[in-house]
Amino acid sequence: MLNTEQASSLHTELDLYALPELVDAFVQDQLQAVQAVQAAAPQLAAAVAAALPRIAAGGRLIYVGAGTSGRLGVLDSVELYPTFSWPQERALALLAGGRSAMFVAVEGAEDDGPQGAADLAGLQPDANDVVLLLAASGATPYVLGALRAARAAGALCLGFANNPGAPLTAQADIGITLDTGAEVISGSTRLKAGSAQKMALNTFSSALMVRLNKVYGNLMVDLRPSNAKLRQRALALTMRATGADPLRAAAVLAQCEHHVKVAIVALKLGLTVAQARAALDAAQGSVRQALQHPS
């Protein structure tokens, strides 16, 4: 039996727990998710290193999964645009059962390996694409079908599973095992198995975006705000990075459509918005390099 399907020996009378004890059992068990991601850190670093040149060459991130794993892939993909201005057409997600499966379980969809292959092939992957394949069991047919299609196209395949020795991690170019063990509620991989997947995806994509010059120091500077809250955040980030007063920072942000990167370079170097954009282009989008070597 898979580790994720085992019954926990620690909570055999879970239904009898007093409420504080019940909540504590769930919270404490989540700590194992953190430990599982920590143990997989070398593989995550290798995945970022392998993905970077492909993505820098124009490749896409393609997430594939079923059920909870698939929904977590969708979540990571859609958050890249508001956080890092990553183009939406370069962060795609395939969920077994289609878009409606995001909200309502589509029974049997995860067992359809040929459909997984067809869905992936429909995106016309190539050698620059990076395919992130997610399955708690590590053996979901839909995901394995997508893996076969991705490998046939020469894409980089990253396999995320919560069981050691899973077919998914064995067949991927880089296997990332998040060994979270038995769940508090037997077999419910929406618990710590899902938490570990969320953390691993977040770590991978965030580290990749740092390497793609989407961050200056530890500031989220490639933000393009689309609402009032994000415009306030853009203002705060610009002020922190430059020391400019609110009026000056707001004025420059307005000139550059609230693109924080451009505002920082313009303010720190005393450039026009057009000159700041040119400096960033010459520095491949790196704020640090633009500041150190203005053109």
Phi/psi at 177 (nearest 5 deg)?
Answer: -95, 125
CATH number of the domain where residue 268 is located = 1.10.8.1080
Picking from 211, 227, 250, the residue at the C-terminal end of a domain is: 211
Picking from 150, 182, 211, the residue at the C-terminal end of a domain is: 211
Catalytic site residue 257? no
Q: Is the pTM of this model over 0.85?
A: yes
pLDDT of 295 reads: 63
Residue found under tokens 């990253």: 158
46 and 188, same domain (yes or no): yes
Decide: 54 and 130 in contact? Cβ < 8 Å.
yes
Decide: 140 and 5 in contact? Cβ < 8 Å.
no
Question: Under 8 Å CB-to-CB from 130, ≥6 apart: which residues?
Answer: 51, 54, 55, 59, 60, 61, 62, 155, 156, 158
Provide DSSP, 78-123.
HHHHHHH---GGGEEEEETT-GGGGTS--TTGGG-HHHHHHHHHTT
Decide: 108 and 141 in contact? Cβ < 8 Å.
no
Beta-bridge partner residues of 62: 92, 131
**What is the total count of domains within the chain?**
2
229 and 177, same domain (yes or no): no
Provide DSSP, 191-245.
THHHHHHHHHHHHHHHHHHHHTT-EETTEETT----SHHHHHHHHHHHHHHH---
Residue found under tokens 């929904």: 71
107 and 252, same domain (yes or no): no
User: What distance in Å separates the CA atoms of residue 105 and residue 97, rounded to the nearest whole number?
Assistant: 8
DSSP type of residue 156: E
Domain that holds residue 224: 218-292
54 and 194, same domain (yes or no): yes
119 and 257, same domain (yes or no): no
- How do strand 215-216 and strand 219-220 relate by DSSP bridges? antiparallel
pLDDT of 7 reads: 78
117 and 27, same domain (yes or no): yes
95 and 228, same domain (yes or no): no
Question: Under 8 Å CB-to-CB from 242, ≥6 apart: which residues?
Answer: 249, 263, 264, 267, 268
100 and 145, same domain (yes or no): yes
For residue 270, CA distances in Å to 254, 262, 287, 294 come to 16, 11, 14, 11
179 and 228, same domain (yes or no): no
CATH number of the domain where residue 182 is located = 3.40.50.10490
Catalytic site residue 107? no
pLDDT of 52 reads: 98
247 and 107, same domain (yes or no): no
Q: Please compute Rg for the chain using Cα positions.
A: 22
Mean pLDDT of each 10-residue bin along the chain, 295 residues long: 82 94 95 97 98 98 96 96 94 95 88 96 98 96 98 98 96 98 90 96 98 96 87 95 96 95 96 95 95 80
Query: What is the helix, strand, coil percentage profile of the chain, to 5?
Result: 55, 10, 30
203 and 255, same domain (yes or no): no
Identified catalytic residue from 5, 21, 110, 183: 110
pLDDT of 291 reads: 95
Secondary structure of residue 270 in the 3-state scheme: coil
70 and 148, same domain (yes or no): yes
Picking from 211, 242, 263, the residue at the C-terminal end of a domain is: 211
pLDDT of 107 reads: 78
Identified catalytic residue from 5, 13, 21, 79: 79
Secondary structure of residue 275 in the 3-state scheme: helix
User: What distance in Å separates the CA atoms of residue 21 and residue 24, rounded to the nearest whole number?
Assistant: 5
Decide: 89 and 80 in contact? Cβ < 8 Å.
no
With residue 177 as reference, give the H or E element that holds it: strand 174-177
